[in-house]
Amino acid sequence: MEIRPVGTDAAALASYEALFRACFPGAGHLNAAYLQWLYARNPAGAVIGCDAWEGERLAAHYVCVPAQAVVNGRAMRTMLSLNTATHPDFQGKGLFTRLADATYQLGAQAGIGAVYGVANANSTPGFLRKLGFALVRPLDARVGFGRIERAAPVAVADGFRRDWSQAALEWRIANPQRAYRLVRAGEGAIGAEAATGKPGLLAWDELALPAGMPSPARSPAWAMRLHLGLRPGGGRPQGLWFEIPQRLRPSPLNMIFRPLAEGVAVPAADSVRLGQLDFDAF
Protein backbone atom coordinates (compact mmCIF):
# COMPACT_ATOMS: atom_id res chain seq x y z
CA MET A 1 0.00 0.00 0.00
CA GLU A 2 1.50 3.35 -1.09
CA ILE A 3 0.69 6.59 0.77
CA ARG A 4 0.70 9.69 -1.44
CA PRO A 5 -0.28 13.36 -0.94
CA VAL A 6 -3.72 14.24 -2.32
CA GLY A 7 -4.14 15.91 -5.69
CA THR A 8 -6.55 18.58 -6.91
CA ASP A 9 -6.42 18.05 -10.68
CA ALA A 10 -9.38 16.67 -12.63
CA ALA A 11 -8.14 13.08 -12.53
CA ALA A 12 -7.64 13.16 -8.76
CA LEU A 13 -11.06 14.71 -8.13
CA ALA A 14 -12.70 12.08 -10.34
CA SER A 15 -11.04 9.31 -8.34
CA TYR A 16 -12.27 10.87 -5.08
CA GLU A 17 -15.79 11.21 -6.43
CA ALA A 18 -15.76 7.52 -7.38
CA LEU A 19 -14.49 6.54 -3.93
CA PHE A 20 -17.17 8.60 -2.16
CA ARG A 21 -19.83 7.05 -4.40
CA ALA A 22 -18.64 3.56 -3.42
CA CYS A 23 -18.47 4.41 0.31
CA PHE A 24 -21.50 6.68 0.65
CA PRO A 25 -24.08 5.84 -2.06
CA GLY A 26 -26.52 8.46 -0.73
CA ALA A 27 -24.02 11.34 -0.64
CA GLY A 28 -24.59 12.75 -4.11
CA HIS A 29 -23.25 16.16 -3.10
CA LEU A 30 -19.69 14.80 -3.00
CA ASN A 31 -19.28 15.34 -6.73
CA ALA A 32 -16.53 16.88 -8.85
CA ALA A 33 -17.99 20.42 -8.78
CA TYR A 34 -18.17 20.43 -4.98
CA LEU A 35 -14.71 18.90 -4.63
CA GLN A 36 -13.20 21.45 -7.04
CA TRP A 37 -14.66 24.28 -4.92
CA LEU A 38 -13.59 22.77 -1.60
CA TYR A 39 -10.22 21.29 -2.54
CA ALA A 40 -8.77 23.80 -5.00
CA ARG A 41 -10.41 27.23 -4.72
CA ASN A 42 -10.01 28.03 -1.02
CA PRO A 43 -8.09 31.35 -0.65
CA ALA A 44 -6.35 29.85 2.41
CA GLY A 45 -4.81 27.17 0.21
CA ALA A 46 -5.53 23.79 -1.33
CA VAL A 47 -6.48 20.91 0.92
CA ILE A 48 -3.77 19.01 2.79
CA GLY A 49 -4.15 15.25 2.94
CA CYS A 50 -3.08 11.80 1.83
CA ASP A 51 -4.35 8.87 -0.22
CA ALA A 52 -3.66 5.16 0.10
CA TRP A 53 -3.19 3.37 -3.23
CA GLU A 54 -2.92 -0.33 -4.02
CA GLY A 55 -1.44 -0.21 -7.48
CA GLU A 56 -3.84 1.90 -9.54
CA ARG A 57 -6.71 1.44 -7.11
CA LEU A 58 -7.59 4.15 -4.58
CA ALA A 59 -8.15 2.45 -1.22
CA ALA A 60 -8.57 5.38 1.17
CA HIS A 61 -8.57 9.16 1.25
CA TYR A 62 -8.34 11.87 3.93
CA VAL A 63 -8.13 15.67 3.68
CA CYS A 64 -8.03 18.70 5.93
CA VAL A 65 -9.07 22.19 4.78
CA PRO A 66 -6.67 25.10 5.57
CA ALA A 67 -8.14 28.00 7.55
CA GLN A 68 -6.88 31.18 9.17
CA ALA A 69 -7.76 31.30 12.87
CA VAL A 70 -6.91 32.86 16.19
CA VAL A 71 -5.86 30.33 18.84
CA ASN A 72 -5.30 31.55 22.39
CA GLY A 73 -4.91 35.09 21.10
CA ARG A 74 -2.40 34.16 18.39
CA ALA A 75 -3.15 34.34 14.66
CA MET A 76 -2.10 31.18 12.85
CA ARG A 77 -2.84 28.81 10.02
CA THR A 78 -4.97 25.89 11.11
CA MET A 79 -6.83 23.19 9.25
CA LEU A 80 -10.24 21.60 9.55
CA SER A 81 -10.36 17.80 9.57
CA LEU A 82 -13.04 16.97 7.03
CA ASN A 83 -13.43 14.36 4.28
CA THR A 84 -12.39 10.78 4.87
CA ALA A 85 -13.33 7.54 3.13
CA THR A 86 -12.03 3.98 2.96
CA HIS A 87 -13.26 1.68 0.20
CA PRO A 88 -15.30 -1.25 1.60
CA ASP A 89 -12.71 -3.70 0.25
CA PHE A 90 -9.98 -2.12 2.41
CA GLN A 91 -11.74 -1.36 5.66
CA GLY A 92 -10.40 -2.70 8.96
CA LYS A 93 -6.74 -2.34 7.91
CA GLY A 94 -5.93 0.83 9.88
CA LEU A 95 -5.62 2.98 6.77
CA PHE A 96 -7.36 6.02 8.22
CA THR A 97 -4.89 6.21 11.11
CA ARG A 98 -1.96 5.97 8.70
CA LEU A 99 -3.39 8.66 6.45
CA ALA A 100 -4.15 10.94 9.39
CA ASP A 101 -0.64 10.66 10.80
CA ALA A 102 0.87 11.41 7.39
CA THR A 103 -1.53 14.33 6.85
CA TYR A 104 -0.67 15.97 10.17
CA GLN A 105 3.03 15.66 9.36
CA LEU A 106 2.42 17.42 6.05
CA GLY A 107 0.40 20.09 7.84
CA ALA A 108 3.13 20.74 10.37
CA GLN A 109 5.72 20.99 7.58
CA ALA A 110 3.47 23.54 5.80
CA GLY A 111 3.33 25.76 8.89
CA ILE A 112 -0.06 24.65 10.18
CA GLY A 113 -0.29 25.28 13.92
CA ALA A 114 -3.24 23.06 14.80
CA VAL A 115 -5.97 20.86 13.40
CA TYR A 116 -9.55 21.04 14.64
CA GLY A 117 -12.68 19.16 13.81
CA VAL A 118 -16.28 18.43 14.68
CA ALA A 119 -16.87 14.74 15.27
CA ASN A 120 -20.03 12.84 16.04
CA ALA A 121 -20.49 10.62 19.07
CA ASN A 122 -19.33 7.50 17.18
CA SER A 123 -16.12 8.91 15.73
CA THR A 124 -14.98 11.08 18.65
CA PRO A 125 -13.41 8.23 20.72
CA GLY A 126 -11.20 7.19 17.80
CA PHE A 127 -9.89 10.72 17.29
CA LEU A 128 -9.11 10.99 21.01
CA ARG A 129 -7.51 7.56 21.52
CA LYS A 130 -5.74 6.99 18.21
CA LEU A 131 -4.98 10.42 16.78
CA GLY A 132 -4.03 12.54 19.78
CA PHE A 133 -6.96 14.94 19.74
CA ALA A 134 -8.43 16.54 22.86
CA LEU A 135 -12.15 17.01 23.43
CA VAL A 136 -12.90 20.72 23.72
CA ARG A 137 -16.65 20.49 24.37
CA PRO A 138 -19.91 19.14 22.93
CA LEU A 139 -21.54 21.68 20.64
CA ASP A 140 -24.64 23.59 21.62
CA ALA A 141 -27.64 23.04 19.38
CA ARG A 142 -30.30 25.75 19.56
CA VAL A 143 -33.40 26.74 17.65
CA GLY A 144 -35.12 30.08 17.93
CA PHE A 145 -35.43 33.63 16.71
CA GLY A 146 -33.12 36.64 16.96
CA ARG A 147 -29.36 36.95 17.44
CA ILE A 148 -27.28 34.13 18.88
CA GLU A 149 -25.13 36.77 20.65
CA ARG A 150 -26.20 40.00 22.33
CA ALA A 151 -23.08 41.94 21.33
CA ALA A 152 -21.15 42.03 18.08
CA PRO A 153 -18.85 38.95 17.83
CA VAL A 154 -15.61 40.89 18.26
CA ALA A 155 -12.28 39.47 19.40
CA VAL A 156 -13.22 38.50 22.95
CA ALA A 157 -11.96 35.40 24.76
CA ASP A 158 -9.94 34.31 21.75
CA GLY A 159 -9.30 30.70 22.70
CA PHE A 160 -10.39 29.77 19.19
CA ARG A 161 -12.15 31.59 16.40
CA ARG A 162 -11.91 31.54 12.64
CA ASP A 163 -10.38 34.71 11.21
CA TRP A 164 -12.54 35.33 8.16
CA SER A 165 -11.29 37.64 5.43
CA GLN A 166 -13.68 38.95 2.79
CA ALA A 167 -12.16 36.63 0.16
CA ALA A 168 -12.41 33.57 2.43
CA LEU A 169 -15.98 34.37 3.41
CA GLU A 170 -17.05 34.90 -0.20
CA TRP A 171 -15.53 31.54 -1.07
CA ARG A 172 -17.20 29.83 1.90
CA ILE A 173 -20.73 31.00 1.13
CA ALA A 174 -20.36 29.94 -2.53
CA ASN A 175 -20.57 26.22 -1.69
CA PRO A 176 -22.18 24.83 -4.85
CA GLN A 177 -24.17 22.27 -2.85
CA ARG A 178 -25.43 24.39 0.06
CA ALA A 179 -24.96 28.12 -0.50
CA TYR A 180 -25.33 30.65 2.30
CA ARG A 181 -26.60 34.20 1.91
CA LEU A 182 -25.22 37.03 4.00
CA VAL A 183 -27.63 39.37 5.79
CA ARG A 184 -27.53 42.28 8.22
CA ALA A 185 -27.16 41.29 11.87
CA GLY A 186 -26.43 44.46 13.82
CA GLU A 187 -23.54 46.86 14.27
CA GLY A 188 -20.24 45.30 13.17
CA ALA A 189 -21.77 41.88 12.61
CA ILE A 190 -23.26 39.87 9.78
CA GLY A 191 -25.51 36.85 9.69
CA ALA A 192 -25.36 33.88 7.33
CA GLU A 193 -28.41 31.82 6.40
CA ALA A 194 -28.69 28.49 4.57
CA ALA A 195 -31.42 26.01 3.87
CA THR A 196 -31.56 23.00 6.18
CA GLY A 197 -33.89 20.90 4.06
CA LYS A 198 -36.65 21.38 6.64
CA PRO A 199 -39.44 23.86 5.77
CA GLY A 200 -39.43 26.99 7.90
CA LEU A 201 -36.01 26.27 9.45
CA LEU A 202 -32.78 28.00 8.35
CA ALA A 203 -29.23 27.32 9.47
CA TRP A 204 -27.92 30.49 11.14
CA ASP A 205 -24.47 31.76 12.02
CA GLU A 206 -23.06 35.16 13.04
CA LEU A 207 -19.60 36.64 12.71
CA ALA A 208 -17.76 39.93 12.84
CA LEU A 209 -17.83 41.89 9.60
CA PRO A 210 -14.43 41.34 7.90
CA ALA A 211 -12.25 44.45 7.58
CA GLY A 212 -13.06 46.44 4.46
CA MET A 213 -16.18 44.43 3.61
CA PRO A 214 -19.41 46.42 3.21
CA SER A 215 -22.33 45.37 5.38
CA PRO A 216 -24.90 43.28 3.49
CA ALA A 217 -28.00 45.16 2.36
CA ARG A 218 -30.31 42.17 2.65
CA SER A 219 -32.50 41.67 5.69
CA PRO A 220 -32.71 38.29 7.44
CA ALA A 221 -35.50 35.97 6.37
CA TRP A 222 -38.37 35.56 8.80
CA ALA A 223 -37.96 31.93 9.80
CA MET A 224 -36.95 29.83 12.76
CA ARG A 225 -33.18 29.52 13.06
CA LEU A 226 -30.91 26.57 13.85
CA HIS A 227 -27.49 27.26 15.32
CA LEU A 228 -24.85 24.60 15.98
CA GLY A 229 -21.66 25.65 17.68
CA LEU A 230 -20.02 27.27 20.68
CA ARG A 231 -19.91 30.82 22.01
CA PRO A 232 -17.53 32.31 24.61
CA GLY A 233 -18.86 31.71 28.10
CA GLY A 234 -21.78 29.75 26.67
CA GLY A 235 -23.15 32.83 24.88
CA ARG A 236 -26.01 35.17 25.74
CA PRO A 237 -28.58 34.98 22.94
CA GLN A 238 -30.66 38.01 22.08
CA GLY A 239 -34.15 36.81 21.32
CA LEU A 240 -36.01 33.59 21.96
CA TRP A 241 -33.82 30.49 21.77
CA PHE A 242 -34.24 26.92 23.03
CA GLU A 243 -31.57 24.28 23.56
CA ILE A 244 -32.35 21.06 21.67
CA PRO A 245 -32.35 18.15 24.17
CA GLN A 246 -29.65 15.52 23.60
CA ARG A 247 -32.25 12.81 23.06
CA LEU A 248 -33.70 14.72 20.10
CA ARG A 249 -30.37 15.24 18.31
CA PRO A 250 -29.68 12.67 15.56
CA SER A 251 -25.97 12.63 16.44
CA PRO A 252 -24.53 14.94 19.12
CA LEU A 253 -21.43 16.74 17.86
CA ASN A 254 -18.15 17.49 19.64
CA MET A 255 -15.39 20.00 18.91
CA ILE A 256 -11.98 18.30 18.93
CA PHE A 257 -8.53 19.89 18.68
CA ARG A 258 -4.93 18.80 18.22
CA PRO A 259 -1.89 21.12 18.35
CA LEU A 260 0.68 20.59 15.60
CA ALA A 261 3.26 23.25 16.49
CA GLU A 262 5.31 24.01 19.57
CA GLY A 263 3.64 26.32 22.05
CA VAL A 264 0.08 25.74 20.80
CA ALA A 265 -2.33 24.70 23.55
CA VAL A 266 -5.84 23.30 23.45
CA PRO A 267 -8.27 26.23 23.90
CA ALA A 268 -10.47 26.42 26.97
CA ALA A 269 -14.04 25.37 26.24
CA ASP A 270 -15.52 28.70 27.38
CA SER A 271 -13.25 30.74 25.08
CA VAL A 272 -14.30 29.23 21.75
CA ARG A 273 -16.41 30.82 19.03
CA LEU A 274 -17.51 28.22 16.48
CA GLY A 275 -20.43 28.05 14.09
CA GLN A 276 -21.65 26.21 11.03
CA LEU A 277 -19.55 28.34 8.70
CA ASP A 278 -16.46 27.11 10.53
CA PHE A 279 -16.98 23.39 10.11
CA ASP A 280 -19.01 22.88 6.94
CA ALA A 281 -22.23 21.65 8.58
CA PHE A 282 -24.25 23.39 5.84
Q: Which of 25-29, 215-219, 255-259 has the highest mean pLDDT?
A: 255-259
Query: Smallest Cα–Cα separation from 175: which of 100, 62, 282, 89?
Result: 282
pTM for the full predicted model: 0.93
Q: pLDDT of 140-196, one tens digit each? A: 999 999 988 876 555 455 899 999 999 999 999 999 988 899 999 888 889 999 999
How far is Cα 76 from Cα 68, in angstroms, rounded to an integer? 6
Q: pLDDT of 72-81, one tens digit each? A: 999 999 999 9
Using CA atoms, how far residue 215 sits from 110, 195, 281, in Å, is 34, 21, 24
Summarize the confidence of residues 212-225 as an average pLDDT. Answer: 90
- Average pLDDT of the chain, as a whole number: 92
Q: pLDDT of 19-38, one tens digit each? A: 999 999 987 888 999 999 99
In the chain, what percentage of residues exceed pLDDT 70? 96
